[in-house]
Amino acid sequence: MGWFHTAGAGGRDPSRYVVTVRRTEDGRTAGAGLVLGHDTVLTCAHVVNAALGRDMFHTRAPMAVDVPVEVSRSAVGSQRHLARVAHWIPPRAPDGGPVRPGAREWLGDLAVLRVDVPAPGLPDGPGQAALSVGQKLRAWHGSGADATVARLTVAAVHGPHGYVDGAPTGMAVDVGYSGGPLWCQEENAVVGLVAGHFLPVDAAGHPLPLDFQNVIRRSWVIPWQAVEAELRPLGVLDACRPVPPDTDEHAFGLLLQAIEDALPSPTGRGDRARRLAQLCGVEHGSDVRPPSAQDFAAFLLTHPRALAALTGLLRREDPRSTDRLLAAGALSRTPRLLSPSEYADLRGHLRALDPAVSARFPEAVRAALPHLATQPGGDSVDALVDRLEILPGDGHASDGERRVPALLRVVEYVAALAPDTPRARLRMWSDRVAGRLGIGRSALGERRYDAQEWARSVRGRAARVRVLVQVTKVGRGRHRLRIWCDEGAGPRQVSTESVRTYTASEAAREVLRVLDSLTPPPEDERPPLVEVLVDRGGLNLPVDEWAAQGRAELVPGVLGVEYPLVVHCPELLRRNGRFVSRWRSRWSRLDSGKALVVSDPADRDTLYSQLVNQLDTVRVSVDVPPGPPRDRIVQTCLALGIPVVMWDRGEDGPSHSVRHMARVATRELPDGVHSYRAGAWANPPEFPGRPVLAWADADRTVPRLHLSEPQEGP
């Protein structure tokens, strides 16, 4: 256990690890959760859906939405906090599709929440072990009340599903237990999460009344080994689960020597240790016997934020020892960049940002770190911060000068986008962290200047209002629509039906109805952008030519004539995920990148080798007659991450529209194509083309698409 009492050390009432997840509407219990770390809670995704009043199997992550949680602080009290989803693994059917109503089991169904709690945060999380047959377990209702404990026995474990049986007397698992931990006293650890309960049904699957003959106390659970398999790629557990350090590793020896030199006095070492334990939210040993230097070094390589907290205590009075500690800690993968208070403050500043600024966080990451081989991704700002924390500093440091960490550079770019007050708060935060790290003011000032220049260059490119329309062919001349609006804070769905089908004219009328309902900001005179989301077979759908014609219509209502309209095929990027980083890198060069014209159908055979690593090519014009070769060229460009691809839907020979658009700057192409289509409607001989513009904006999010919502039929 050591002098510092870290997670999984034992001695804590296991019911105190239970978190209450409450409904936003009425505050009633939606389900349970598990304290995973100092600011992290794990629960089931369907519990979060219930808390937000959504369908149980809703698949889209609830971004930037507060979820009320309640965490026990003692045997007699608890504290309420707000949390947000950091990582989202929605419920899914075995085939990877949505879960259908009436399903009794499913996969996934996990949500990692970040709790808005001041430092040092929540208590340490518990130890963790695998679920196995025969284990005796306990589970609690989401309320966390001691009287709700249910006694369970593991009956079977089959891959991602475990089956537990309740004792014939006492509490039975029911509504409100989902998402809560399964505690094994023998292992002194959590071994899984409660997921669902089986109710008695007849042979046809119809519910039976509960009586003495129809009593079932069987529930199914998510084994901890399945939880680990889902969360391992996200790195969540590594940050929350303390691992005893390897005393043979080089970092341990260097830290040990640095601590002995910096804190030679047992009294001074004890004072620092007690303060450090308080900052990190862990209990400590005897007030009389201070920790040994070995205990100290072991704790710094066990708690991910301990080293940052200690250097904050030492920087002012002993900068040389502080630098030695930071240098030694950099040799280990455990220490994180920020102390508990710095991390909590940053999350608070970021959560307070206007949604329009938060939505541009990925854009700021790409601008701040243009040479990063693989851009960090994540479901949320919290997830991005986690991944940025472990990245090294940039290469613009003089000899002997500490580099500016990637996270601080990104924060400067985010701050440059924010209004005066939040910008000042973020910059003051950066100044404090840089001071603790020993980073010179000139180095941080240079990054701040870079961020200001970048923000000045993009300020004129404010997020454009757009309408996203997913178009799916469902028969001859019939289409299904799903529509979202995005005024700058991300897509919000506005369509109420996705099972109804439309003719082209009806679809145009429905899209125009949504466009009429928008109120663009008065300072932006640009018409909204219509972004048509299609699969690879729908790239040539003439959606821009769809017209809301009818006896009641005074004007034709042609979509591509009234509004700039582009197509986007997320399917091609998702199926070739290794090119996503190249797509984002190319998009960051949109104003300076090169354009390529493909005019020979045979070029499709060499296009892959030509473009795969040519990151300065951002735009391809395909001047090839209609047919399979042209479609293959277009799809190859999109799959390789070319953000802007243009071709002509109709012409057999050299395309007038492609040649005409060659004079238009890449960023202005949506409006340029819009003008061309208007000219083609008014004067076809002068504008004979039928241009198609594929436009994949890496700075704007696209809703996760699927064929139907979980509650819908096939």
Nearest to 253 by CA among 331, 160, 143, 316: 331
Question: 632-666, pLDDT tens digit by residue?
Answer: 999 999 999 999 999 999 866 678 999 999 889 99
Q: Which residue, among 488, 490, 555, has the nearest Cα to 516 in the 3D structure?
A: 555
The whole-number average pLDDT for the span 71-91 is 81
Q: In the structure, what pLDDT confidence band is assigned to residue 410 with cuts at 50, 70 and 90?
A: very high
Is 361 or 11 the better-scoring residue by pLDDT?
361
**Chain-centroid distance, C-alpha 494:** 22
Question: Please, which pLDDT band fits residue 13 given cuts at 50, 70 and 90?
Answer: confident
pLDDT at 481: 92
Q: 615 or 460: whose pLDDT is higher? A: 615
- Say if residue 4's pLDDT is above 50: yes
For the chain, give the mean pLDDT: 85
The pLDDT tens digits of the residues spanning 386-403 come to 889 988 776 554 556 788
How far is Cα 495 from Cα 619, in angstroms, rounded to an integer?
32
Which pair of tokens denotes residue 599?
């005019």
Q: What are the DSSP calls for 36-100, one per residue?
A: EETTEEEE-HHHHHHHTT--TT--S--TT--EEEEEE-SSS-EEEEEEEEEEEEEEE-TTSSPPP
Q: CB under 8 Å to 19, separation ≥6 — which residues? A: 32, 33, 34, 35, 41, 43, 69, 70, 71, 142, 144
Pairing assessment for the beta strands 691-695 and 644-648 based on DSSP bridges: antiparallel
Choice among 425-434, 505-514, 570-579 with the minimum mean pLDDT: 570-579
Quote the DSSP letter at residue 502. E
Q: Look-up: residue for tokens 């998702």?
A: 574
Q: Taking residues 588-594, what's their average pLDDT?
A: 84
Tell me how far apart the alpha carbons of residues 558 and 135 are, in angstroms, rounded to a whole number: 66
What are the pLDDT digits (tens) for 15-56?
889 999 999 999 999 999 999 988 899 999 999 999 999 999
Q: What is the DSSP letter of 207?
A: B
What residues contact residue 341 under an 8 Å CB cut-off, 6+ apart?
Answer: 118, 119, 120, 279, 309, 312
pLDDT: which is higher, 393 or 409: 409
497: confidence class by pLDDT, cuts 50, 70, 90? low
Q: Is the pLDDT of residue 405 over 80?
A: yes
Instruction: Report pLDDT for 333.
Output: 86
pLDDT tier at 370, thresholds 50, 70, 90: confident
Share of the chain above pLDDT 70, in %: 88
Closest C-alpha to 194, from 227, 171, 221, 173:
221
Note the pLDDT of residue 214.
Answer: 44
Q: Is the dihedral of CA 356, 359, 363, 369 positive or negative?
A: positive
Distance CA 74, CA 399 (A): 51
The span from the CA of 84 to the CA of 41, in Å, is: 10
713 pLDDT more than 50: no
Band (710; pLDDT cuts 50, 70, 90)? very low
Half-sphere CA count of 505, side-chain side, radius 13 A: 8
Is 291 in contact with 4 (CB distance < 8 Å)? Answer: yes
Tens digit of pLDDT for each residue in 127-172? Answer: 899 999 999 999 999 988 888 999 999 999 999 999 999 888 888 8
For 536-556, what is each residue's pLDDT tens digit? 999 999 999 999 876 566 778
Per-residue model confidence (pLDDT) at position 373: 57
3-state class of 26 per DSSP? coil
The tokens for 577 are: 């995920």
Predicted confidence (pLDDT) per residue in 299-322, tens digit: 998 888 999 999 999 999 899 999
Say which amino acid occupies 157: V
Per-residue pLDDT at 566 exceeds 90: yes
Mean pLDDT, residues 430-449 taken together? 93
Q: How confident is the model at residue 77 (pLDDT cuts 50, 70, 90)?
A: low
Instruction: For 71-83, give the DSSP string.
Output: EE-SSS-EEEEEE
pLDDT of residue 416: 94
Q: Which tokens in the block code for residue 602?
A: 């045979």
**Residue 384's pLDDT is what?**
87
* Between residues 712 and 581, the one the model is more confident about: 581
- In angstroms, rounded to a whole number, what is the distance separating the alpha carbons of residues 695 and 505? 24
Distance of alpha carbon 87 from alpha carbon 713, whole angstroms: 28
Distance CA 701, CA 572 (A): 16
pLDDT tens column, 412-425:
999 999 998 999 99
709 falls in which pLDDT band (50, 70, 90)? very low
SS in 3 state form for 156-180? Answer: EEECCEEEEEECCCCCCCCCCCCCC
Report the candidate in 173, 79, 190 with the shortest Cα–Cα distance to residue 129: 190
The candidate with the shortest Cα–Cα distance to 548, out of 539, 535, 557, is 557
CA atoms within 13 A on the CB side of 561: 17
Between residues 489 and 87, which one has the greater pLDDT?
87
Distances from the Cα of 437 to the Cα of 257, 321, 516, angstroms: 20, 12, 53
Q: 112: closest CA among 340, 302, 382, 346?
A: 382
Report the alpha-carbon distance of residue 116 to residue 345 in Å, rounded: 10
User: pLDDT confidence of 374, banded at 50, 70, 90?
Assistant: low
Q: Which residue has the higher pLDDT, 275 or 489?
A: 275
Whether residue 120 is preceded by a cis peptide bond, meaning omega within 30 degrees of 0, is yes
User: What's the pLDDT tens digit per position in 184-243?
Assistant: 999 999 999 999 877 655 555 555 555 544 446 788 999 999 999 999 888 888 767 666
Mean per-residue pLDDT, 555-568: 92
Residue closest to 32 by CA, chosen among 141, 160, 146: 141
Give the number of C-alpha atoms closer than 13 A to the C-alpha of residue 460, restricted to the C-beta side.
4
At 155 the pLDDT is: 92
Question: Does residue 8 carry a pLDDT above 80?
Answer: no
Identify the pLDDT of residue 394.
64
**25 burial via Cβ count (<10 Å: 0-12, 13-18, 19+):** exposed
Span 338-346, average pLDDT: 93
At position 437, the amino acid (one-letter code) is L
Q: Is there a contact between 481 and 471 (Cβ–Cβ < 8 Å)? A: yes
Please report the pLDDT score of residue 201 as a whole number.
Answer: 54
Query: What tokens appear for 42 in the block?
Result: 């794990």
377 pLDDT more than 70 = no
Residue with the larger pLDDT of the pair 50 and 612? 50
Per-residue confidence band for 512, with pLDDT thresholds at 50, 70 and 90: very high
